[in-house]
A and B are shown apart, each in its own frame.
Chain A
Amino acid sequence: MASSSETPATEQVITAIFAKSLLVILQSRSPFVSSRNYSLDQIPLSPSSSSGSPSTRSSGPRDNWFNLALHDYPAALENSDFWRQSNLEPLVIDILLVNRVSGTEKLLERWVVQYETRKQPSTGRKSKRTYYMGATLLFRSLYMLVRLLPAYNLFREINSSGRIRPLGLLHRIQPFVSPLSRLEEAEMRHLSLAPIETPSGRLSHWVSYLPVLDDFSIGSEPLTPLSTEFIPDYVGSPTTDPLKRFQALPLGGSTPICVQPSRRHSWSADRLGAPNLSPLPEAQKRNKGPEGCYPFLTPSPQKASLLRGDSELVRFGELFTGTSLPKEISIGGDNTRYLEGVKFSLASGSWVCGSKVLSLDLNEDTDANYPFAPDAINRTHNSEGERSQGAIVGELMRMLKTAPKLQIGFEKSNSLDQNPNPAPSGSRTAADALQELRNYMHMRDSILSQSGPHPSEPYPEKEAKHKEETNPEKEMEERKMP
């Protein structure tokens, strides 16, 4: 480095003073430089935890210049002052408090290390030992001073927290002393350490600092949101109340519902924006989709799937226009659990019950023609109506379970009079089929009667009944006829 008329040995000492000053200051102001963060072992902080000989406390490389052993230069500092062409350029370290939210900065401290040459060098009065001793004493004071100023506690608080906070400390190194603003001049205090006299010059250290930092408390909330924690066994969860009605599910089919099983699975409900509902039986977990959702938990609406398990629960997933509340219906051995309060809109959808797939085209008005219009099921809410509804549906389920697969859509449901049932097996007679048809018709009538007459078809049941009664009978009569 180009410099004054100092001897090389003195130049080396001066360079070391600059470097050590930078290290001492930034180790207590910058988390990237702090020895607390990158030291191989922790320096005990309590007075009672004396760890004996200093040499046993750290095994990492140290900077022992001026008899003050500090952790060696971290990578963050290696090129921090590369722009300094000579020791004649000052080292200015600004410590700034930054607000990550607003992007504002506030100057907390300005440390300046400056070497000035003397016009007339001293006549050997200042030996190397003398100014080295002076530097040793200076660094004792500097090391203590950086810990006494208010910014140190702020640094400790920021450095100790692992969270990202709105406020942070930033340092800026520059080779010139920029003028302070009037406000900064008025607010800041100034401290200077005794200069180090060299044979041909003088090294000065001073600091301008804000004496009060009460306005910059970082006890504010952390910037990053707290991680969401799911409680699988919350009060009222399906694990504690399996038949609990799920009421807090989104509508409109835009948001999938995801059921989160036990935590050992890597996926979570959080990604899909759904609460943790309940852990599922093992059999149900086989149906997990690629996102960890169950087949019925898809963005597309009106999907229902049977999740086979020991209890043969039937879950109705989303999400019909209007309301959609999945319900669990036990259709296994326990027939006492009935569908309760299931609401379906007239959108298309399907039921899957047992091993049957019942495709329902609900786009059109089905109240009149579709005997199993789910909307009709939940028309009434009185207890008597519910019992009758429950009984009806329960019986329906049982029949559907045992009946052959039904491939009836809406249009097919209209043609019950034409082909009400699939071709019966050889063991079934026409009378059996007729009886079954009558049962269906009776069921439909009772459902429709509860919903009231439809304006488009004032006497739908009568007409259908007439048709259903007439055609099969006529057919049978025709068969009997020779």
Chain B
Amino acid sequence: MNCETCQLKELELDPTEIRDVLRCVVHTIFFHRALGLVRPKDVDCELFEITYVQCGDAELEKKIDEKLEQFVAWSEKHPNRKSQVCLSFYEVKSKQSSWFGSKVERHYWEHWIVNVNVHPINPPRSSFLNNREKVLEETSTRRSALETSVREILFQIIKFANEKQEHIPPVTNTEVVSFPYEISTPR
């Protein structure tokens, strides 16, 4: 079985923007891969005029939030670095071993790589006080550009999820999130 990988466009984020942006991207990916019965929940981004969709699974939301908090904590310790948040879907297959019984293996069939470049955007305070209007304008411009980037990434997800379907394994359960998954953050 093939393993498809989707490298998403890099996002340049301020530490305060990590949660909102990554929550939007990760939930959109899950919405396309949670093939169980889903009651969609529309969610408005806090920072942008973007509405994304969650699967409505409380456990999934909790896990995503936990992972994002881990990533935020890591990025605070390692500022100004490029990193990745990886969302992977796999199948669990047991491999019979000759001596020690069966061995469970994970067969990854899809990876979603969210490329993130976190660095503080706010200028030093002295210049902030002196050129407040200019700073606000620059922030607005940057925020608008970031919204465009997020939209492009969402379109990218839709396109990839639509085009690549052959590698998706059959659904064998009635869970909302049909496939086991893994969210990886830098350590």
Contacts and interface: CB of A to CB of B under 8 A. Distances in A.
Contact of B32 (A55, A58, A137, A148): A137
Contact of A68 (B38, B51, B163, B170): B38
Interface in B1-54: 23, 28, 31-32, 35-44, 46, 49-54
A52 B176 CA distance: 13
A54 B53 contact: no
B165 A194 contact: yes
Given A57-B56, A129-B170, A194-B162, A44 B41 contact: yes
B43 A45 contact: yes
Contact of B40 (A51, A68, A153): A68
Interface string A38-75: 00000111110011111101100010100111100000
A51 to B, nearest CB: 8
Contacts, number: 98
B158 interface: yes
A311 B170 CA distance: 91
Contacts of B165: 133-134, 137, 194
B38 A69 contact: yes
Interface string B58-75: 100100000000000000
Contacts of A70: 40
A137 B161 contact: yes
B87 interface: no
Contacts of A148: 50, 151, 154-155, 158
Interface in B65-106: none
B42 A144 contact: no
A67 B35 contact: yes
B145 interface: no
A137 B166 CA distance: 12
Contacts of A147: 42, 51-53
A45 B151 contact: no
A52 to B, nearest CB: 5
Contact residue range for chain B?
A: 35 or more
A239 interface: no
Nearest to B157: A144
Contacts of A156: 51
Given A50-B61, A57-B56, A145-B158, A136 B43 contact: no
A26 to B, nearest CB: 15
B18 to A, nearest CB: 13
B42 A141 contact: no
A194 B46 CA distance: 31
Scoring B37, B52, B162 by chain A CB atoms within 10 A of each residue's CB, the highest score goes to: B162
B35 A136 contact: yes
A138 interface: yes
Contacts of A57: 39, 41, 56
Contacts of B50: 148
A118 interface: no
Interface in A167-217: 193-194
A6 to B, nearest CB: 21
B47 to A, nearest CB: 12
Contacts of B171: 133
A67 B158 contact: no
Contacts of A64: 37
Interface string A139-178: 0110111011000110010000000000000000000000
B25 to A, nearest CB: 12
Scoring A47, A58, A148 by chain B CB atoms within 10 A of each residue's CB, the highest score goes to: A47
B24 to A, nearest CB: 9
Contacts of B55: 54
Q: 6 smallest A-B Cβ distances: which pairs?
A: A54-B39, A54-B56, A194-B162, A69-B39, A147-B51, A141-B158
Interface of A: 43-47, 50-55, 57-58, 62, 64, 67-70, 129, 133-134, 136-138, 140-141, 143-145, 147-148, 152-153, 156, 193-194
8 contacts: A54-B176, A57-B39, A64-B37, A133-B168, A133-B171, A141-B158, A143-B31, A148-B151
Given A141-B161, A144-B154, A156-B51, 11 more contacts: A47-B61, A51-B56, A58-B39, A67-B35, A67-B38, A133-B35, A141-B158, A144-B53, A144-B158, A148-B151, A193-B162
